[in-house]
Every structure is written in structure tokens, then in C-alpha cells.
Amino acid sequence: MDTQLHEACFSHNENAVESVKKFLDEGGDIEIKSTHSGWTLLMVACRAGTVELVRFLLDRGAYMDYQDPRGNSPMMIAFGCYNNEHGKELLIRGAFYDAINIRGDTVSDFVENSIKPAVEAILETLPNGNYIKG
């Protein structure tokens, strides 16, 4: 991470919303990008922040369809990091679902990878005979 602000968004720090609010209220750019990853604050929050921070950034006008140099969008990052509530928030607010990254992956690919382990874990807890692996 480049800035303390990016670091605040990266953690589940309960003061992250206040840190970002202060930055924005002082005229900071909500779309400030990390020189390391090219990620915006929203992208960092989608990876490892709280859903409250994601909501706050969206409420303040963060661009939810930005794609980093590798073509990943905030929604791809959220679902790719198993932050399904973050991804759901973006969907509800109308984020672009059809983005394609440089590997040819779409949001659907990230959703499948995000949800599949959870579904398999639930199925493995069912009594024998109720789930056929295959």
C-alpha cells in the first residue's frame, strides 16, 4: 500500500471510515490510486476492508467500475477475495457486471470461485448419500 489511507482501507480498522471521511472533507481525491497496484480506495476496501467502508465510499461517489492495470474491477476483487457482501453491495448499486480482465475472466468467474467452496463445505456436512461428488 502506498498511503496511510490505503492501509486504513486495507484493514478492518474501525477508524477507517473516519480517516477516509476526514481525507475527503479536506478535499482529498476519492479516486486516489496506489502507485504500487493502481487500486483505488474502493478496490482496497473490497479486498480487505469492511462492508461499511465500501458503502461509505460508494455513498461519497467512488467510481465502482474502475478497472486496474490488469483489468480487475472492485466487484471482481470483492468476489475474488470471498467478500460476497461487498460484491453484493456493488451489484445492488448497479456496478458493471460484464467487465473482462486481461486474463479473460469476468465477474461470473470470480463469483463461481467465491461461492463454490462455501457450497462444497455445506454439502460435505450432509449425511452420506445426500450428496454425490462428481
List pLDDT tens digits, range 3-59.
777 777 776 677 888 889 999 999 999 999 988 889 999 999 999 888 999 999 999
In a domain, 84, yes or no: yes
pTM score, whole prediction: 0.81
Q: Does residue 131 lie within any of the structural domains?
A: no
Q: Specify the CATH number for the domain of residue 98.
A: 1.25.40.20
Name the band, by pLDDT with cuts 50, 70 and 90, for residue 127.
low
| pLDDT tens, position by position, 94-114 | 888 888 999 999 988 888 777
State the average pLDDT over residues 108-128: 69
Helices (H) and strands (E) in the chain, counts: 7, 0
Contact yes or no for 9/20 (Cβ under 8 A): yes
Q: Quick one: residue 66, left, alpha or beta (phi over 0 = left, psi -120 to 50 = alpha)?
A: beta
How far apart are the C-alpha atoms of 77 and 47, rounded to whole Å?
Answer: 6
Q: Please check whether residue 46 lies inside any domain of the structure.
A: yes
CA distance 24 to 6: 13
Give me the domain span that covers residue 9: 4-124
**Does residue 133 have a pLDDT over 60?**
no
**How many domains are there within the chain?**
1
Please give the pLDDT value at position 19: 87
Mean pLDDT of 126-134: 51
